[in-house]
Structure 1
Amino acid sequence: MADLIIVIGVAGSGKTTLAQAIAKHCNLTFLDADDFHSAEAKAHMASGQPLTDTMRVPWIERIASSLTSLAQRNESAALAFSGLKQRHREPLRHCGLTPHFLFLSGDQRLIAERMSAREGHFMPPALLDSQFKSLEEPDPSREPDVTVLDITPPPEELLQQAIAAIKGSNR
């Protein structure tokens, strides 16, 4: 089993749901990258403005620092993290844990419907367009540690696909 399972994708793709399920199934520490955002960043997004890459840097640094601490304690984790660009994903590859990324790929309309149905989240559905514009889908030739998963199956089926992908990566 990989030391670090990172579920990536745009807002509303199901990252948190899948990462929590993987953490429970594999007895891993669960981390949600949203918990590492500053209050200012959350307010910025809640106001309908996307974060810039410059604004994301300290957020990614806080996540990487937490992962490094886990590695020092020899703990494995499942992380829900947008990871929209390769340069956002890259620092997490160097934290002392062996990463396996699961990219949740899906139709923007379906994701928008899911976002509209959820309550109490700081990320408004209006920012979904900016998420898709920023997204650099992983290229397997440059990022061989990424598995692409389609988001349309029910959560339990998606979990089974994720577990199979993780096990397959450790042969």
Structure 2
Amino acid sequence: MTLQLEDEQAQKLPFDYEELAKQVIDQVLGMEECPYESEVSLTLTDNTKIRQLNREFRKIDKPTDVLSFPLVDFQKPADYDLLESDGWEVYFNPESGELMLGDIVISIERASEQAREYGHSLKREYAFLIAHSMLHLLGYDHMISEEAAVMEQKQAAVLKKLNITREGE
């Protein structure tokens, strides 16, 4: 797995954010039985920048915690069969051969605010946001309650497996 990481925000994080991102991404890919080596882009930013992106791409003019930009148009979540059909090669990096899943953008500023609001660590919030976004990159959504319940269960399973829980921090 390749993680392309950009940190364009000012806050110093009290944990190894690159290593944690890799652990969460690997856990999601394993849980979702991804048969391919994969590539993910992660950008850490602030509320100003994520607000601009949110306005541009979602037409919502306010900061958000995380944005996900999937590159693969999964018909069903984590259904890798489409990658075997004609035209599948566009989803793979021609240099590395890795499946290009997409981009995750996290506002560390907003994640810090949420961690305080929810009463848990920034590390837990950061890991949660990456797990959440990875599920989006694999085709999951939470627009209806049944989908939301599936995502919530999967996010909790990833964090539990990595021992990143609200209680066990």
TM-score between the two structures when normalised by the length of structure 2: 0.31
Relative contact order, CA 8 A, sep 6+: which one is greater? 1
Bigger radius of gyration among the two: 2
Whose helix proportion is higher, 1 or 2?
1
